[in-house]
Structures are given as C-alpha cells and as structure tokens.
Chains A and B, each alone.
Chain A
C-alpha cells in the first residue's frame, strides 16, 4: 500500500535465565507444562509462546514478562 509493513519479532532471554538458574531444558519444560522440544523452539526463536505460557515462564523465574520477552521491530 506504499507504506512499509512492520513485522514484530519477539526475542527472549530464556537460555540466559536458564543458565543463571542452572536448570535444564527438560526441567523447565516440566515446570511450565510443555515438552522439551517447545523450550528448544522458543530459545531458538522458532516458536513464540502463548501469553499463558510466557506468563508461566516469567512466574517460574520470578521475573517480569518484559525481562524475558521483548519485541524487536524489523522492516519487511
């Protein structure tokens, strides 16, 4: 439409937080009620979690959701 379309890319610090807390992907997956493959996909940026899952992860790490997930704007 003659206007640049902005796509939102969600980035996360899940692997950093996991390293800080020294927990495995398997354990985190079990704690938040998903499979390990989902945690892997989130860390790699292949999958954006639902709001519910994002809040569960934030609650598990006792952090604000914005400390874990943030939006990176990219031009399409």
Chain B
C-alpha cells in the first residue's frame, strides 16, 4: 500500500505540468486555432484530467486515513522536522499555537458569517412611523445554504443603501486561507522558538 501511495503521489505531481499543457491546448482548440484532426488530443487531455481528478480524490482519502502517508506527505509540505526530542517538543508548541490561532480565526469568521447588517430606504408608501430610512441587525445560522432566496424577497420590498449579509468570501477561499494560515503560522512559530536569544 505504501509503495502504491508513493507511485500515485508521483503520478499526481508529475501530472500537474501535463495537465497545464493539456489545459492550454484545450483553450487553443476551443478558440478554433487548432486543426480539427487534433480532436483526439483534445479528448485525451480531457480523459487525463478526469483520471487526475480521481487520483486527487484517492490521495485525499489516503491522507485522511493513512497516518504514515499523511506524516510523510504533509511533513514535507509544511516543512515539519522532528530530528530529535527537542524538535519534537518545539513542533508540539508550534502546532499548539497554530491550533489556537486557527480556532480564534474560525470563531471570528463564524461570527462574521452570522451577522446581518442592513441600512435601507423604504418607499414613502411603506414608511414606518413616517420614517423612510432605517437599519436592521440580525443573526443567521443554517446548515443549508438557503439565504439567497430570503435575501431576494427582502430586496424587492426595500432599497438597501448598505447591506452586510455574512462573509462575502467563498467556502473555497476560506478553506485555502486556513490551509495557508496553518502552514505559515506553524513555520513562523517554529522559527521564533528556534531563534537563538
């Protein structure tokens, strides 16, 4: 299994430039610059992409399930070095800092994602106590993404001057931010801990 994982990982990594070349070719083909007989290459690159996607899913699952594989791959990715007991201790401290800061960021982002703030103007016929301007504050939480429909209905009734409705960031961006943050935070803490006083 270990051997298979290593081979798959190599195929995955070496496949990246092939994939980039394939994407470039497909773009050229889609714009009509490539000749029609090149369709076979077009199809092959699409097939290669599908295989690469499957491979990435397999490797993602293996990273979650296999401890040794996770250690070997992610240690390289995050530059974790545990050559002796002191480095193991420092790694523990750095990962604790990373965990705590990540948790703090997640709590902060969760709060931001729950808040709703809106400054609005109402049409004169719908004025409340003669007032046509107002603001509303709200909290929202839902496991399913169903806010878009609600927001659309509200928007029909009033004109929002300013509206804040949760984080304007995609879930992919947040996940990427957290991955980058964990690597940066770990390495910065490790550098601080190993820096001679």
Seen from chain A, the residues whose Cβ lies within 8 Å of a Cβ on chain B are 33-35, 37-38, 40-41, 44, 46-47, 49-50, 52-53
Stretch at the interface among B59-67, B78-86, B111-119, B135-143: B78-86
Chain A residue contacts of B160, Cβ below 8 A = none
Q: Say how far A43's CB is from chain B's closest CB, in angstroms.
A: 12
A35 touching B197, Cβ below 8 Å: no
Q: Say how far B136's CB is from chain A's closest CB, in angstroms.
A: 52
CA gap between A49 and B196 in the complex, in Å: 17
A50 touching B197, Cβ below 8 Å: no
**How many positions in chain B have a CB within 8 Å of any CB in the partner chain?**
9
Nearest residue (CB) in A for B86 is A38
Q: Say how far A9's CB is from chain B's closest CB, in angstroms.
A: 16
Is B5 in the interface zone, CB < 8 Å from A? no
For chains A and B in complex, what number of residue pairs have CB atoms within 8 angstroms?
A: 26
The B contact surface, by secondary structure, is helix
Binary per-residue interface labels of chain B (65-92) against chain A in the complex, 1 for a CB within 8 Å, 0 otherwise: 0000000000000000001111101000
Most chain A CB inside 10 Å of its own CB: which residue of B85, B86, B89, B197: B86
Q: Say how far B161's CB is from chain A's closest CB, in angstroms.
A: 58
A53 touching B85, Cβ below 8 Å: yes
CA gap between A37 and B81 in the complex, in Å: 13
CB-defined A-B contacts under 8 Å, sample of 21: A33-B84, A34-B83, A34-B84, A34-B86, A35-B83, A35-B84, A35-B86, A35-B87, A37-B86, A38-B84, A38-B85, A40-B196, A41-B86, A44-B196, A46-B197, A47-B86, A47-B89, A49-B85, A49-B86, A50-B85, A53-B85
Chain B residue contacts of A34, Cβ below 8 A = 83-86
- Which 4 A-B residue pairs are closest in the complex by CB-CB distance? A34-B84, A38-B86, A35-B83, A47-B86
Chain B residue contacts of A46, Cβ below 8 A = 197
Q: Say how far A46's CB is from chain B's closest CB, in angstroms.
A: 7
CA gap between A46 and B84 in the complex, in Å: 15
CA gap between A52 and B88 in the complex, in Å: 14
Is B194 in the interface zone, CB < 8 Å from A? yes
Chain B residue contacts of A52, Cβ below 8 A = 85
Q: Say how far A20's CB is from chain B's closest CB, in angstroms.
A: 24
CA gap between A46 and B90 in the complex, in Å: 12
Binary per-residue interface labels of chain B (153-197) against chain A in the complex, 1 for a CB within 8 Å, 0 otherwise: 000000000000000000000000000000000000000001011
Q: Say how far A32's CB is from chain B's closest CB, in angstroms.
A: 9
